[in-house]
Amino acid sequence: MPRLSARGSLRGRRRRVTAAVLTAALVSGGARAADVEPPGVYEVVIDAALARLPVEFRSVYLPHRESLLAHATGQGSGRFGGSPVLARADSHYLMLDVAAESASPAARLRAALDFPRERSKASKLLSDRGKREGGALPWVLAEQCDALVEAIRARNEPEIARLSGVVLHLSVDAGLPFNATTHRRGPTAAQLVLPEDQDSAERMLDADARGRAQDGLILRWRGELGAYLEESGTDCAAVEDVVEASFASLMAASAALDALVEADRELLSRWDIRDGVSYCAVRETFLAELDHDALPIVRARLDESACFCAGLLVYAASRGMERPNVVAGASPAAPRPEALTGSRPQGRPEPGAKPAASAEPKPAAQYIGSKNSTKFHVPGCRWATNIKPDNRVIFGSAAEAQAAGREPCSTCDPKD
């Protein structure tokens, strides 16, 4: 089957979800729409992650697929009634930008880079900023991974199913853009009060940037997203440090958040939307244009989340079974794409720079590839920085990289 393009046209038929399904999903258990993730996102990402597991580890998890999905999605008596960890709100996010001096992307990035990796220091920072429940996702996830390792060692099948479901739920959370910010519903200026006669599910989803650009989008495109993740040839890097890997996923989510918020803000301005009434007048067109801009970003985040999920499952199984922590991936032919935002990074060198003579990266390097992959990246791509120095290949132009048989990274989109 042909792979879907990460930058392909998104103007095809949109799948509609009935109001009854949306309403039941978003208000189940009495949770507010802003506090739960869109129904279906966990099933879509987890199924993709299980398919990317190396053969030697599949026997640990695949027999428990239905059970671990039930634990991951909170099915059963009450929302997450069987998991105190998932029942805690602050397990699902981390406010990386809590110390940002403003809401600008640059200020948020500085705050996120400076955010403490030690739990005690992070808790103090959040408390000092008046956010005592500002999130604890990386450390909670690390604890659950350690518990999963012990369950695998003890061959405790019920605990393997339960804990793998918890780990998968939290690792999906780490990749969703609005879980990495203090403003979890998006900018206050972008929040709308919709008319009471508007469909109740639409009213919940359309009231803020998170609902429009993330949760509602995933609901509208669940089928297409599932097909893309199923067909994706993305390989997944092994996880060595759960806390650091969680921060990396949250940082990527935070960068994607900026692109989603900007796409939503630009459309609100273009259509001169000042309130819920003016929004409802152009809702269908607004969402079609927003999906066109936002879907590639969300799709890339879910693709990387599937890789993160697979990497964590391999991390736990390799330790529990005392086997090498091999790279998780379904296809050895394609490297892992960078998944920060849907836009090209800024500040690249001028096109036409001379190709570097050695495999060591130079400050003026245009593009970077790996001896072990078929892709090439801009130097600012996070996956380019993960390439070991001995494996780095420098290209002076995109044309040079393509002439060498390389393909452009699907998200950082290297071009001359």
Q: Can you give the pLDDT of all 416 residues of the chain as single tens digits?
A: 223 233 333 333 333 333 444 444 444 433 443 455 665 899 999 999 999 999 899 999 999 999 999 999 876 444 555 688 999 999 999 999 999 999 899 999 999 999 999 999 999 999 999 999 999 999 999 999 999 999 999 999 999 999 999 999 999 999 999 999 999 999 999 999 999 888 888 888 999 999 999 999 999 999 999 999 988 877 787 899 999 999 999 999 999 999 999 999 999 999 999 999 999 999 999 999 999 999 999 999 999 999 999 999 999 999 999 877 755 443 333 333 333 333 333 343 444 444 344 344 333 457 888 877 788 888 777 677 677 777 788 888 888 888 888 888 876 788 87
Domains and CATH numbers, the chain: 19-320 (1.10.575.10), 344-416 (3.40.10.10)
Q: Which two tokens stand for residue 210?
A: 């998170």
Instruction: Check: pTM over 0.95? Answer yes or no.
Output: no
